Amino acid sequence: MHLDIVTPERQLMSAEVSMVQIPGMEGDMAVMGNHAPTITTLRPGVLTVTGSDGVEEFVVTGGFAEISAAGTSVLAEQAVPRGEAGTEMLEELLASAKEALASADDASKAAMGQRVNDISDLMGRMG
Amino acid sequence: MPSLKDLKNRIETVKSTRKITKAMQMVAAAKLRRAEEAAQEARPYAERMNAVLSNLAQGAANSPSAPKLLKGTGADETHLLIVATSERGLCGGFNSSIVKLARREAQRLLAAGKTVKILTVGKKGREQLRRDLGDHLVDHVDLSEVKKVGYNHAASIATDVLARFSADEFDVCKLYYGQFKSVISQVPTELQLIPTTFEETEEAVSVSYDYEPEEEAILADLLPRSVATQVFTALLENAASEQGARMSAMDNATRNAGEMIDKLTIQYNRSRQAAITNELIEIISGAEAL
């Protein structure tokens, strides 16, 4: 299966992989070849790519993924290899999410709260 | 007739000007390469985004609950024009041509009795628009400290614009920037941001996707992102166009300086020879008189 990981600033990855684990908005999903065409939004989390040369992990902060017959493309707002992801980036993100939560109206409050939770969750996993 | 010393000074001045313009041209060429690369690397994201969105939007456009960003407010009264120009001058007609396009649109709207608000990105456009449309400027984004335009800059502009939109400050939003075609051609371009429009993609085969969460939630999440992406693309195009325009402007300036030096050198030599001939005539006629 072909996988593209792109951010607005550059293309991070374009390769043949066997499986990718996507942190979807409604739960993680593992995608392999011949997956049903799906579009899902991403929550802040870790994206795991299993390819021929081992497992690679990327920290993504949001965006969406498009899974089609031609392959999978992950369009991430921000994506960095796990090793390079500093806590600073996540702290900044958490601060802005909390700010958004504080000023959110009732309709978007739940989504904002979810985002804050997701980010702190991710920070916990990163150590 | 300027004296020999004056001419010599002139030639020296023009020579040092030529050195400066030559250096600027080379700097612009190097920056242009980097700007072009940045624009190229951003392309896959923008293209995918556009493809997915237009697919989604086609389905949602006719539904009554379509997001406001997609179908607009229903009114056409207040227009927000975002004019993206450069922070520095000396790049030929680059800024003026963008401003000209935006100004024409602003005047057309004003003549039709609409309200016009202008948001400027980049100092040069603001300076030019302040003269006659100063009352309509609502905000300015300063990128003069920014070395390389990043997505976060575009995102913060988009957030600001979207906040204004949800506060009902405008109905239609258009973005003006210079599209990079080549070093000698930058096309001032108008792009409607809100309500969102899509380039028609040829591969508009409607694959039936599963959506997670449901279609409209995704659309509501993606539309603001797409505004940021479009702003980002425009800023990158602008950066490349600016350097391209500067490069050709400086190339022209360098060539003109060269021509001027040649002309002045000829003039200098002529007057030097004339002075020598004069002296000789004086000596000879003095000798003859004896």
Q: What is the DSSP string of B92-121?
A: TTHHHHHHHHHHHHHHHHHHTT-EEEEEEE
Q: How confident is the model at residue B220 (pLDDT cuts 50, 70, 90)?
A: confident
Catalytic residue, candidates B32, B82, B91, B106: B91
Q: What is the pLDDT of residue B79?
A: 92
Per the DSSP assignment, residues forming a β-bridge with B137 are: B118
Q: Is the pLDDT of residue B133 over 70?
A: yes
The residue type found at B186 is Q
pLDDT surpasses 90 at A10? no
Report pLDDT for A86. 73
Alpha-carbon distance of A19 to A17, in angstroms, equals 6
Residue B72: per-residue pLDDT = 81
Least confidently predicted of A32-41, B73-82, B193-202: B193-202
Residue A85's pLDDT is: 72
B173 is catalytic: no
CA torsion angle B112 B115 B120 B123 (round to 10): 80
Report the chain A residue with the minimal C-alpha distance to residue B218.
A41
Which pLDDT value is given to residue B201? 57
pLDDT band at B207 (very low <50, low <70, confident <90, very high): low
Residue B66: band (very low, low, confident or very high) from pLDDT cuts 50, 70, 90: confident
Asked if A41 and B48 come within 8 Å (Cβ–Cβ), the reply is: no
Report yes or no: A9 at the B interface, CB cutoff 8 Å: yes
Assess whether pLDDT exceeds 70 at residue B62. no
Q: Is A122 helix (H, G, I), strand (E, B) or coil?
A: helix
Task: Look at B211 and A8 and tell me if their CB atoms are within 8 Å.
Answer: no
Determine the average pLDDT of the residues in B126-133.
90
What pLDDT, on a 0 to 100 scale, did the predictor assign at position B119?
Answer: 93
More confident residue, A105 or A26: A26
Q: What are phi and psi of A24, to 5 degrees?
A: -75, 165
In the predicted structure, residue B114 carries a pLDDT above the cut 80: yes
Distance CA B60, CA B75 (A): 20
Query: CA-nearest residue of chain A to B231?
Result: A8
Are the CB atoms for B119 and B139 separated by under 8 Å? yes
Residue A26 in tokens:
């409604």
Residue pair B179/B88 in contact by the 8 Å Cβ criterion: no
The pLDDT tens digits for B2-28 are 889 999 999 999 999 999 999 999 999
Residue B59 tokens, joined: 């389905």
pLDDT value for B129? 92
User: Helix H segments across B74-174?
Assistant: 94-111, 123-133, 151-166
Q: Where residue B78 falls among pLDDT bands split at 50, 70, 90?
A: very high
Determine the residue type at A59.
V
B99: pLDDT strictly greater than 90: yes
Q: What is the pLDDT of residue B35?
A: 93
Chain B residues in contact with A4 by the CB 8 A cut-off are 44, 48
User: Do A5 and B18 touch, CB atoms closer than 8 A?
Assistant: no
Cβ contact A7–B151 (<8 Å): yes
- Tens digit of each residue's pLDDT (9 = 90 or more) over A50-104: 988 889 999 998 888 989 888 899 999 888 888 777 777 778 888 888 887 877 7
Q: Which amino acid is at B269?
A: N
Distance CA A116, CA A101 (A): 8
A29-53: per-residue pLDDT in tens? 999 988 888 889 998 889 999 988 8
Residue B81 has φ and ψ, to the nearest 5°, of -105, 120
How many other CB atoms are there within 10 angstroms of residue B216's CB atom? 16
Structure tokens at B15: 């020579």
A57-74 burial, b at 16+ Cβ within 10 Å, e below that, comes to ebbbbbbbbbbeeebbbb
**What value of ipTM does the predicted structure carry?**
0.83
